[in-house]
Chain A
Amino acid sequence: MVNKMPKHIASGLKYLAAVKLKEQGHNQQKIAEELDIDRSTVSHYLNGRNLSWNSIDVAKTITDLYPKDFLTMVQAIIQDPEKSRKIVIICKKYEYDAFVDDSCIGCGLCVDLCFMKSITLVSLKAQINSIHCCGCQTCENECPTNSIKILEIEDD
């Protein structure tokens, strides 16, 4: 039973993602494509059938974690990096603003470290795509010149 837990929690995370996408107005077909699951599974999720509510509770707790821990947990549970990125982008609680100071030396360390692949180098300066930023602050912490600031955008 124990070794099946992550799979259940993965379903929980996918459920949360499906509900969020539905709230954003996507149809079931689109949701199924986004999350790479069967359309019938999406239908089950959205109609509240065949669900383990415990797993969903655990999944909710995970999404409430500090962003870096949230990212680590999703990586560990989902395993596939591409799918993990999808879940994190859909289920993250806040949006983030990223600022890169002119002191950036263009070493590309943040590009290599960013799990969300949200950083690119443009003219020897890091450019952070805040849509994909999960707020984990790995880049901010590892930047050799302390040039990056990641700020949470507060909801009104």
Chain B
Amino acid sequence: MIKNMKESKGNDFDIKRAAEEVRNLSFNNHVCIGCGICESTCPVEAIDLKDMGAISRNKFNTEFSGHDKLNQNIIEDNEDLKLTIDEHKCVLCGMCSGLCPVDALKLTIDDTPIREMDIYPHYNDYARIDDDECIYCQKCQTACPRDAIIIERNLPKRSDLVTGEIDVTEDKCIYCGICAEMCPAEAIEVDRETGKESIVIDKDKCVYCLVCKKSCPTNAIDALCRICSYGEYDINPENAIVLGSSVLDQELCVKCGWCEGVCPTNAAKTKKAFEGTLEIDQDKCQTCGACIDICPCNVLSFVVPTGPGQKLDKILKKEEYCIRCGACAKACPNDAITVKITNIDHTPTNSKTWINALNALKN
């Protein structure tokens, strides 16, 4: 008999079958969103999803990460184990890997991920940031519920944007310190101690606003703003552009569309794999917050009443960012949430079992 080998690294693990071909299934707990699609589709029932609801509620009770914080759903420290796979039952068919809406389960055959093989069906979803359009404002980085985006920006040198001249005539200066108190950029230091009087102007900090010049009682300061004096002739426009780079971690990304939603230009583009609906039964809801904490897309939030006696929904949803993964429905202890998938955009396959498995997600 051929035996599967299991190798665990913390909460992550690899299951390997080495024979004619080498099949390796690796699980990345940090990437897993706890939706349970793998558990419900595994043909040999080898996958055991932990009670994500209990884990989320515990988080909520002890250190709930936020009514107000955007990045409330990433479980970073003392990460809970989300699922286990029985290596004796697993046959490494790759269905979990193929149907995982993120990249948490990865099957490779002879080191090639099945996600790169045409015979396996794939979701037609994507998220990308077009560097030609990106203005590096970092709005997407702040909004991304998965911390999957890093925007690096190289700001232009301040001296390329703010230019001028400033000088102090020490013969006229009485070291009164008015200029230093008035300076909005804290660029002036005046030592008023008798016998040691001095004035120093830091040209790296100076913004050439001329406040010092106007406030000096003895006209000791000569200052000039080049922009005000001569228009913009002295600014080289190329030096004033914000350059940068964007990195989108495709493994963590859930294609929820937050980045596209907040992007002020057309740089961020996303497409979801599932279309469907998300219904919350507000009567059944006990506002435990499990759904809010588990949602990988920051779709759900508590409703904060603005006045007394209001009849409000208990949980608010931003449906445009929902990927219909169903993690909230799994986590809800009161069965108050129903997530339905009505359409799946995937590449074609000849395997009837795989087509059936994909269709079974639409229930």
Contacts and interface: CB of A to CB of B under 8 A. Distances in A.
Nearest to A145: B43
Interface in B69-106: 91-95
Nearest to B4: A109
A139 B1 CA distance: 11
Contact of A112 (B17, B94, B119, B350): B17
Contacts of B109: 108
Given A112-B2, A124-B350, A105 B20 contact: no
Interface stretch (B31-39, B299-307, B351-359): B351-359
Nearest to A112: B19
Contacts of A125: 350-351
A105 B95 contact: yes
A107 B96 CA distance: 12
Contact of B93 (A102, A106, A142): A106
A126 to B, nearest CB: 11
Given A107-B91, A107-B93, A124 B351 contact: yes
Given A106-B351, A111-B21, A125-B351, A144 B120 contact: no
Contact of A102 (B2, B91, B94, B353): B353
A124 B17 CA distance: 17
Given A111-B21, A144-B91, A103 B353 contact: yes
B287 interface: no
Interface string A136-154: 0000001011000000000
B109 to A, nearest CB: 8
A44 B20 CA distance: 38
B92 A102 contact: no
A104 B353 contact: yes
B124 interface: no
Contacts of A107: 91-94
B211 interface: no
A112 B20 contact: yes
Contact of B2 (A106, A113, A123): A113
B352 to A, nearest CB: 4
B213 interface: no
Contacts of A104: 351, 353
Interface in B27-47: 43-44
Contacts of B119: 123-124
Interface string A89-130: 000000000000011111111011100010000011100000
A106 B2 CA distance: 17
Interface string B1-13: 1100000000000
A105 B23 contact: no
B19 A144 contact: no
Nearest to A142: B1
Nearest to B92: A107
B277 interface: no
Interface in B315-363: 349-354
Contacts of A108: 20-21, 23, 92-93, 109
A108 B2 CA distance: 12
A139 B352 CA distance: 20
A105 B93 CA distance: 6
Nearest to B353: A105
- Between B20, B44, B91, B120, the greatest number of chain A beta carbons within 10 A of the residue's beta carbon is seen for B91
Nearest to A113: B2
Contacts of B17: 109, 112
Contacts of A109: 2, 17, 91-92
Contacts of B1: 113, 142
A105 B97 CA distance: 13
B248 to A, nearest CB: 30
Contacts of A105: 43, 91, 93, 95, 351, 353-354
Nearest to A121: B119
A142 B4 CA distance: 14
B358 to A, nearest CB: 12
Nearest to B349: A124
A124 B43 contact: no
Interface of B: 1-2, 17, 19-21, 23, 43-44, 91-95, 109, 119-120, 349-354
Given A105-B43, A142-B1, 9 more contacts: A104-B353, A105-B351, A105-B353, A106-B354, A109-B2, A112-B17, A113-B19, A117-B20, A124-B351
9 contacts: A102-B352, A106-B353, A111-B19, A111-B20, A117-B20, A123-B119, A124-B354, A142-B1, A144-B93
List of 9 A-B pairs having minimum Cβ-Cβ separation, nearest first? A107-B93, A112-B19, A124-B351, A123-B350, A107-B91, A102-B352, A105-B93, A144-B91, A144-B44
Interface of A: 102-109, 111-113, 117, 123-125, 142, 144-145
